[in-house]
Structure 1
Amino acid sequence: MESKKKWRWRWASLTALMLAGASVLWWYWDADRVESMETTAGVQLKFRTSGEQIEVFQNERWQPFFAKGVNLGASLPGHYPGELPIAKDDYLRWFAMIDEMGANVIRVYTIHPPVFYEALVEYNRKKPEDPLYLMQGIWSPEELLIEKKDAYLPEIREQFRAEIKDAVGAVYGEVTLPEKSGKASGTYRANAGKYLIGWHTGTEWDPVMVQNTNRLHEKLPPYQGTYFQATAEATAFETWLAEMVDTVAAEESKYGWQHPMTFTNWVTTDPLSHPGEPLYHEDLVSVDPTHIQPKNWEAGYFASYHVYPYYPDLFRYDPALQQVKNDAGQVDSYKAYLRLLKEHHKNMPIMVTEFGVPASIGVAHFGNLGRHQGGHSERQQGEIDAALLREIHQEGYAGGILFVWQDEWFKKTWNTMRFELPEDRRSFWLNVLTNESLFGVLGMYPGKEGVLTIDGDRTDWDQLKPEEKQRLDIRVPGIDEVWMTHDEGYVYVLVKLAHAFDPEKEKLYLGVDTTPGGNKHAAQLPGLTLDEGLETLIELGKPEESQIQIAANYDFHTRLYGKRYGMLEVKAEEQQDDSGIFKPWKLAVGLEMEPPDSKKYYPLEEVVVGRLLRGTTDAADPQYDSRTAWQAKGDVIELRVPWMLLGFTDPSSLTVMSYQDEGKRFATTTTKGIRLLPVLTDRATKSIVGKSQWPSPYPLTQLPLYSWPAWEQVGYHERKKQSYAIIQQAFKEIDAPVADKDKSQP
């Protein structure tokens, strides 16, 4: 009996070893199926640079390859990237959609978990003739670089070298990374190196850090490595970069492969001079890829830049970028910039590895030709992204990699980040005023997307479970019913009137109270006085009228840029509690600039984001617009309002902005919920409907509260945006780099 047990144990152990061995062999056997060229030195090549092109070895010959790519983030709603929540099934599903979109390259910024590389190998194994290629980014010690302002510090160099070694090991499936907060970890055994198009080293460089590094190490001789070297013209920082790129090459050479090398760069540290850029900081120093050269690296080297059409401001102000017209005959600063940048990198491939605009209500920068950072519908997003891609291709670039595949709720933007408090809860809710969260082609929509459709039809409301909605017992003239619900992105309201709504004859106001203070009266509500103040006032009427406004002394925008920074006029009467004044909901899109930081004075720029668009959120409807806020049909009015427009700094913890400031920071408070007061006004009489029936003061504090429990888990829906199909068509139009193009003006 004992011998039988031993035999079974030995057989089980042998079977496990055989399975493990088969798994390892499978990864290596799969690698042999990828066509590559072997050099006389025994090095494998799949991609290489040649002149101003990138080439792929396919069908036993070298062929031009244009990278039609998409950047892939590392987060999901409810998570930060460092939590690494994406599962293998997610990656496999996304790869199929990315492939279907027509992309041939996926770029990642840093090491992903082992399941990413396993999924990529598994997906590509099914289509060896036309795989999805990987551009692997290697994250530099960004925070340390910005803090210390010296790239040569031993702790920075050692940390970066370790990251490089880990990244190469992860791609080739020969490393085990220990658990470390914010970093990928685990055992890497999938060899994705055969699907690599190139290495993308580093992050966007802080100009002050670059300048300081150059100053501290001015007399350092140019780096001379085994595979890469710095030229005689190289600055100290470029010499450091040559060393880091050479380190990547040295690590990869251990695996018998070579792939094209590049490093991250952006407009702020490009090698061009921009006399029209307002801020000295944005044209302070150059990082020039032509000052680094391969010496024993047959796969070659190319330049890459992140180029967005709205940042820095030189895209609007630099006269040198106002000389080129696009195919439509419009002066196009983006196309002009691409052309100048390309001319600087002669005999060298150059790629735009980040470009794009977000589909969001919020706006953070203005761009030429309406290519703003935000404020776009999903259709507009796709049209702009496709136009940028075509220009990248027309100007002879080696590729364009769109930013980004999926929406990422955790992202922050400079003009809303001070209003998102607590900061560490951004990933728990979708702030559609934060445009950075909505660059994705794959939308990550809040929980009631597709459950409640803003279209004026209450059927979907009636189908909600009782615990998912609340009927508010509000009895005011002209209003029969008021219902509320919410999700991670919006507060939803349904109002049933006693008659069909006619914006030509009347307006519907919804006063919103979340915290003590605010306006107890307003010109918009003639003759009405409340026992408690309103923080915001929603107005629904004609298209140009429909908006949400904010109490003047509560207005985040004026408090930050007026009271704190002195960039706006602050009127004393507006700062009084119960001033009766409601102001348009605005965001800054450009700070006041003045010497010595800028070359001349530029005033603060702002944009109204409180306009409420009437339409439909039915994605199957031709009139669909992702920015839609309300619709009315007959006696039913449906509305959804972004949380921040109601004063919320974090709805997941019921946190709202306080009227009090604490030094340089805003103060917040916890709300008990939302009180909503619907008011109909008559245009003909310029009065409140049924005014004689309204007590004075009206007991707002006696109205029911709409409240909800705090949440730690999020619900969301994944769906391709309208931009997906538009970008898909643009990718189909591109099949090779432009070899010879007419540089003449249209």
Structure 2
Amino acid sequence: MSIKVFLKRVLIITMIILIIISALYIFQDKQRFTKKTGTINFSTKTEEKNILVNKNGEWENFFVKGVNLGASKPGYFPNEYGVTKEDYLRWFNLIAEMNANTIRVYTILKPEFYEALYEFNKDRENPLYIIHGMWVNDNSIEETMNAYDDRIIKNMKRDITSLIDVVHGNAYIPQNSTHASGKYKYDISQYVLGFILGIEWEGYFVYGTDLFNEEITSYDGEYLKLEEGTPFEAFLAQVGDYAVEYESEKYEEQRIIAFANWPPTDPLIQPYEPEDYNDIAQIDVDKIKGTEKFETGMFASYHIYPNYPNFLNMEPEYTEFIDDEGKNNSYRAYLKKINNHHEIPVIVTEFGVPSSRGIAHFDSTRGFDQGNLSENEQAEIIPELYEDIVKENMAGAIVFSWQDEWFKTSWNTNDLIDTERTAYWLDEQTNEQFYGLLSFDTGEEHVKSYPDGNFSEWENSKAIINDDEAKLYMDSDESYIYFKLNIKDLDLENDSVYIPIDVTPNSGAYKSSLFGLEFDRGVDFIIEIKGKENSRVYIHDYYDYLRYRAKSLPSIQKFTEERTKDMDNFNYIYQYLMENVDIYIKETKQKLIKDEQIFESGKLIYGNGNPNSDEYNSLADFFIVGDEIEIRIPWQLLNFYDPSKQKVAGDYCVEGLNPKPIRISKIYSGINVKRGEELVYSSNLQSYSWKEWNTPSYHERLKPAYYSVQKMFEDE
């Protein structure tokens, strides 16, 4: 026999052996999930308004103390699944040390998440439980406006199948556009407290489903049924029944389930809600009942915040409610009403406030606004909201969220930035990015500069303006543009310091009658440092987005070609963010708030921005020591569309509200100093440049709220 024939036979025999081994493995693996005992196993269930967990054969009341875990970190959008196994293990340790007992996730994550959770929990007496969500594609919702469309209901059932197989360690998911993919082999089902199916349903989607399917008013399933309800409630009963049936029949297990909901589609009627889409349809999950075959039970899941929707700020039933501390408390009033409505347990599966510079909505009773709150204020507010939840006898509370999310946008800033690049820079003006207990601060080890009076980070920097009377340094990172000034013999009581900034070649004035200043370049912004309480950033009104958007600002005369060319005909004005639009009582059309509400985001806050300081204020914009001033300005406050690609907003006057962005390579800044009304120093504008980036630099930092949540969970 030739060596060639011998080797060929060896190869064939080896392949046969491998095929047999693989077949045996597949058979045994399949047997693991097909062997039937005829008994449904479950370790969680509901009883009246409580959730119970079986521990060592004993049923115990279980109050959910949780945190929502997102799927992203800087440099990644959620569908890119950039969080690693090492990240998860580190975070699980921190979350457990925070005294939480539950993590809520929104969708199927990549296999590393389940592997990390399995490793973390396997030797723990008190594991971290999971409430696992199942996401629904937003694009399909907008395209169909009908839950019974195949793109919704079929895909939802497919994803339910995948989700249940995933938590049982029995799935291979190919690449797809809905959630993560890969081989899932770690069985974490013993740690899965329950499932939440769906998302925050938009009112018009629920309304459309009800309108298109009027004949569907009931559902009779093996595990869930609806005797009489709306078409959308029947849809929920159907997909919920499918989930329970699939897990019961394939794995002989059940767990508690819920359907995601929020106040805009709650079962209550809100006559003071001004926005139709926030009260156009109702969902009442109490109408969905379990059959005798469903042994675990349902709970109601609500995302509830103190500052949205608007009926919380308008309806006397909420705004005039007095809590047991004698305070007006619309949040507590709503919790009481929604909990009283339900016979099943209610978990507040999202609550919190963001520690952001920008703001989107306000809370009229306690000032728990959606933004413009410091990290210390966030740390104080979250326990107050939690106390409201506990006092209203809810079944649990899940803080939103574990980590800050750079990719997020907000309704009042998403027109101003490139929403396809938000994951690469931190926008201090967008409140949605700052709900986390864990901050991703810029810089691999430390932030480039804090306004804190310590100027050591500037020692090796080169000034762009450098003479005996004044010096100006500039720097930047993924979050701010930094300025450091030295003004000889600075007199904070009498001096006004102006930093003119030229951002775009398409606009800007060469003089300002407001300040009595002249410039050598067209200036788009002016930073005015005028004492600790009266400093701000002004914008040239030609370049102000809000002048073209907000009805409450002075009406704009039509720009003629002549006026467009003469930028000096414009003024420098305050900078604002919109907080709200016109608000009416829906039933009576009575106007409650005149025109749009606006918030002066250009107002600068004096303080120490260093987290290591006892006087730490995360909202601090500038600090002064002697002759030296440190300032940090968020990129978006200077109309940056995407600083990572050196893009600024285009020409609103010529192109309207969505102008084509302009690419620049430099910005120009200068110094002007007035002592009283006398101009004592003036410089030409000099250039500052920075490099583009695609990989942001960051490091993790626990916010003060982490420690306040740690204490509140310990005390409960």
TM-score, length basis structure 1: 0.88
Instruction: Tell me which moved more, 59-68 or 174-183.
Output: 174-183
Amino acid of the structure 1 residue aligned with 2:264: T
The amino acid that maps onto 1:236 is: P
Is contact 1:514-1:672 (8 Å) kept? Answer: no
- Residue number in structure 2 paired with 1:162: 158
Aligned alpha-carbon RMSD (Å): 3.0
How far 1:137 moved relative to its partner?
Answer: 0.2
Matches within 5 A, 1:541-690: 541-561=530-550, 566-572=551-557, 577-579=567-569, 581-593=571-583, 599-601=589-591, 602=593, 603-660=595-652, 661-683=654-676, 686-690=677-681
Aligned: 1:334 with 2:331: yes
AA at the equivalent of 1:490: Y
- Looking at structure 2, the residues matched to 116 and 24 of structure 1 have their Cα atoms a distance apart, in angstroms, of 27
Whole-angstrom distance in 2 between the partners of 1:658 and 1:328: 51
User: What is the aligned length?
Assistant: 698
Query: C-alpha displacement at 1:200, in angstroms?
Result: 0.3
**Paired residue secondary structure (2:394):** coil
* 2:236 is the counterpart of 1:241: yes
Deviation at 1:134, TM superposition (A): 0.4
Deviation at 1:596, TM superposition (A): 7.6
Q: Do 1:457 and 1:636's aligned partners in 2 also have CA atoms closer than 8 Å? A: no
Shift of 1:279: 2.3
| 1:36 corresponding residue in structure 2 | none
Q: How does 1:378-457 map to 2 (within 5 A)?
A: 378-420=375-417, 422-447=418-443, 449-457=446-454
**1:713 aligned to 2:698?**
no
- Give the direction of change, closer, same or farther, for the CA distance of 1:21–1:558 in structure 2 (3 Å limit): farther
- Structure-1 residue corresponding to 2:705: 723
Distance 1:643 1:20 in 2: 59
Residue 18 of structure 1, CA deviation: 11
Aligned match of 2:307: 310
Distance 2:508 2:191 in 1: 59
Shift of 1:530: 1.8
Find the aligned partners of 1:506 and 1:548 in 2 and give their Cα distance. 17
Where does 1:484-523 land on structure 2 (aligned, <5 Å)?
Answer: 484-499=474-489, 501-516=490-505, 517-523=507-513
Q: Which residue of 2 aligns with 1:373?
A: 370
1:286 to 282, 286, 296: 282
Q: Aligned partners of 2:699 and 2:568: how far apart in 1?
A: 41
Matched, 1:462 2:459: yes
Distance 2:27 2:498 in 1: 66
The CA distance in 1 between the partners of 2:616 and 2:172, in whole Å, is: 48
Amino acid at match of 1:223: Y
Checking the alignment, whether the CA contact within 8 Å between 1:69 and 1:107 is kept in structure 2 is yes
* DSSP-derived class of the 1:658 partner: coil
How far does residue 19 in structure 1 lie from its aligned partner after superposition? 14
**Contact 1:525/1:687 (8 A) holds in 2:** no
Deviations 1:492-528 (A, max 9, x none): 11112223x33212122111111122122224542x3
Quick one: distance in 2 between partners of 1:25 and 1:357?
Answer: 49
**Aligned-partner residue type, residue 449 of structure 2:** L
Q: Which residue of 1 aligns with 2:225?
A: 229
- Contact 2:133/2:196 (8 A) holds in 1: yes
> Which amino acid counterpart does residue 373 of structure 2 have in structure 1?
H
Q: 1:634 to 1:302 in 2, by over 3 A?
A: same
Whether the aligned pair in 2 keeps the contact of 1:230 and 1:293 (CA below 8 Å) is yes
Partner of 2:469: 478
Instruction: Kindly indicate whether the alpha-carbon contact (under 8 Å) linking 1:496 and 1:635 is maintained by their aligned counterparts in 2.
Output: yes
Distance 1:261 1:615, change over 3 A: same
2:534 aligned partner, one-letter code: E
Instruction: Trace 1:688-703 onto structure 2 (pairs within 5 A).
Output: 688-690=679-681, 700=684, 703=685
Q: Cα deviations across residues 529-581 of structure 1 (Å, max 9, x unaligned)?
A: 223221111111322211111111111211222xxxx4532254998622362
- Supply the AA of the counterpart residue of 1:186: G
Consecutive unaligned residues in structure 1, runs of 5 or more: 32-38, 464-468, 735-746
Q: Distance in 2 between matches of 1:639 and 1:13?
A: 72
Report the Cα distance in structure 2 between the residues aligned to 1:281 and 1:537, rounded to whole angstroms. Answer: 40
Amino acid at match of 2:71: A
Residue of structure 2 aligned with 1:50, choices 28, 47, 51: 47
Q: In 1, distance between residues paired with 2:413 and 2:532?
A: 26
How far off its partner does 1:360 sit?
0.3
Question: Any idea what SS the aligned residue of 1:45 has?
Answer: coil
What is the alpha-carbon distance in structure 2 between the residues aligned to residue 21 and residue 407 of structure 1? Answer: 46
Output the CA distance in 2 between the equivalents of 1:68 and 1:546.
42
Structure 1 residues 571 and 597 mapped into 2: Cα distance closer, same or farther (>3 Å)?
farther
The structural deviation recorded for 1:605 is 0.6
Q: Which secondary structure state, in structure 1, belongs to the residue aligned with residue 523 of structure 2?
A: coil
Q: In the alignment, which residue of structure 1 is the partner of 2:99?
A: 102
Task: Give the superposition deviation at 1:151.
Answer: 0.9
SS of match in other structure, 1:264: strand
Q: How many angstroms does 1:12 deviate by? A: 14
Paired letter, 1:498: K
Q: What displacement does 1:591 show?
A: 0.9
Tell me if structure 2 keeps the 8 A contact 1:49–1:299: yes
Q: CA separation in 1, counterparts of 2:27 and 2:580?
A: 55
> 1:180: Cα distance to partner?
2.2
Q: Distance in 1 between matches of 2:308 and 2:524?
A: 34
Q: 1:38-83 deviations in whole A, cap 9, x for unaligned?
A: x995222111100100011114211110001111110111111011
2:569 match: secondary structure: coil
2:609–2:618 Cα contact (<8 Å) kept? yes
Cα separation, 2, equivalents of 1:291 and 1:657: 50
1:55-204 to structure 2, matched below 5 A, reads 55-127=52-124, 129-181=125-177, 183-204=179-200
CA contact (8 A) 2:129 2:193 kept: yes
